Each structure stands twice: as C-alpha cells, then as structure tokens.
C-alpha cells in the first residue's frame, strides 16, 4: 500500500498559545532533542505578550482546537505582571476547559538556570544576566534562544520545579515567589512513546 500523501499519526498534538520566541524555540528544540519529531506536532496557535489575551483566546478557541491526542497549552512568564497573571490563570481555571498552563516566575530564563543548579534569582533582569554568564550565545534582546547543550541537568530542574509546586500546598502558582510550570509540558513531551 502506498503511503504517499498520507498524514502522519501524531501521538500528541500541542495546541500552543505562547508569549514569545524564547518559549517556542525552547519547546521545538526540546522535542528534537528527545527525538519526538515524528510523534509530536506543535501547532503555533497564537503568540502574544499579554497573558490575559492568551488565556481568553485559548478559552475561546478551545472547542475548535480540541481533537484526538491534542492538548491546549498556554505558556507565559510573570515578568512582574501580578494582576495580569492572576487574572489570566484564574480565567483559565474558571472556564472549566481542559487547558494546561505552563507559567514561569520570574521568567522563562529561570528554567535553563535550574538546569545548572541556580534557583536563587527572583527578577527577570537578574535571571537574564545570570543566564548570559553561563550561556554566552544568549542575549535577551538580540538572541533570546537557549543552547540546550548548556542545560545539563534536566532531571534536577524538574525535581526543583516539583518542589516549588508542592510548597504551594494547593495555592495558585502566581502566589509562589518562583515557579517553573514548563516542567509539566516537558514531562508530557518526554513521556510520549
């Protein structure tokens, strides 16, 4: 039987609402690094720097996007936006939709730092500066992309992220001083067989 023109059957389709280029680039690289290219499809639905806009759009488009083997994910940073972040997370949670949130506080740059055993930064500028010192190719404004070769300890980062999650004792993630919810999405990706 000829398979020409037949669409691949993905094990997981991620419908992605995301804040910026850094998040998308990291997820694409992570999927390739884990050799999941043929198993996972990453659909870029919306890029927007406003967490509330991402939340509203994900809820509005959810029914059109949900299909077999698909999950809707919203990925964004805190970046000092307390009210917007709280409103966005609460909006998704109150919607009753099965929308997953990968939220980082203070920012996405905390994630590669955690891979290097650094988890004591609490502001975006401190995280970006520290990341530039261990990942020379990274520049928040000119080259906001992570070098996965400079992120040696994925398992350690996940352990720390889970500790932060547990320390919330059921409180929403925006109440944490530091949070790395992207681990939930990367674990989902890593588990696909």
> In this predicted model, what pLDDT tens digit does every residue of 24-57 receive, in sequence order?
999 999 999 999 999 999 999 999 999 999 999 9
Is 81 a domain residue? yes
- 114 in a domain, yes or no? no
- Phi, psi for residue 22 in degrees, rounded to 5: -60, -45
Domain that holds residue 93: 12-107+152-191
Instruction: State residue 1's pLDDT score.
Output: 45
Mean pLDDT of 167-174: 90
Has residue 57 been placed in a domain?
yes
pLDDT over threshold 80, residue 12: yes
What is the arithmetic mean of pLDDT over 117-134? 96
Query: Average model confidence (pLDDT) for the chain?
Result: 94
Q: Once rounded to an integer, what is the mean pLDDT over residues 108-128?
A: 96
What's the Cα-to-Cα distance from 113 to each of 68, 118, 151, 186, rounded to whole Å?
35, 5, 8, 16
105 half-sphere exposure, CB direction, 13 A CA radius = 19
The reported pLDDT for the residue numbered 53 is: 97
Please state the rounded mean pLDDT for residues 167-184: 92
* 99 located within any domain: yes
Residue 177 within any structural domain of the chain: yes
Q: Where are the alpha helices (DSSP H) in 4-150?
A: 21-33, 51-65, 82-95, 110-114, 124-134
Reported pTM: 0.93
Q: Which residues sit opposite 47 in a β-bridge?
A: 18
pLDDT of the residue at 3: 55
Is 140 contained in some domain?
no
- 63 falls within a domain: yes
Sorting pLDDT into bands at 50, 70 and 90, what band is 9? confident
140-165 pLDDT tens trace: 999 999 999 999 999 999 999 999 99
CATH assignment of the domain containing 88: 3.40.50
What's the total number of domains in the chain? Answer: 1
- Taking residues 68-84, report their average pLDDT: 95
Count of other CB atoms within 10 angstroms of residue 119:
17
Q: Is residue 179 part of a domain?
A: yes
Kindly state the average pLDDT of the residues 13-31: 96
Contact 107, 131 (CB under 8 A): no
In contact, 109 and 124? CB cutoff 8 Å:
yes
Please check the confidence at residue 7 and state whether its pLDDT lies above 80: no
């Amino acid at each position: 039987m000829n398979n020409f023109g037949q669409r691949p059957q993905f094990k997981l389709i991620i419908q992605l609402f995301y804040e910026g280029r850094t998040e998308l680039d990291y997820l694409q690289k992570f999927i390739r690094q884990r050799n999941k290219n043929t198993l996972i499809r990453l659909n870029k639905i919306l890029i927007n720097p406003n967490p509330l806009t991402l939340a509203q759009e994900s809820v509005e488009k959810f029914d059109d996007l949900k299909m077999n083997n698909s999950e809707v994910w919203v990925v964004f940073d805190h970046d000092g936006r307390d009210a917007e972040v709280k409103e966005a997370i609460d909006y998704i949670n109150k919607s009753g939709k099965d929308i997953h949130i990968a939220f980082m506080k203070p920012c996405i740059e905390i994630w590669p730092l955690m891979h290097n055993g650094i988890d004591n930064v609490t502001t975006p500028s401190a995280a970006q500066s520290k990341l530039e010192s261990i990942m020379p190719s990274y520049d928040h404004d000119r080259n906001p992309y992570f070098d996965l070769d400079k992120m040696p300890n994925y398992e350690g980062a996940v352990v720390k992220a889970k500790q932060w999650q547990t320390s919330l004792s059921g409180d929403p993630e925006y109440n944490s001083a530091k949070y790395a919810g992207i681990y939930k999405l990367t674990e989902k990706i890593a588990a696909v067989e």
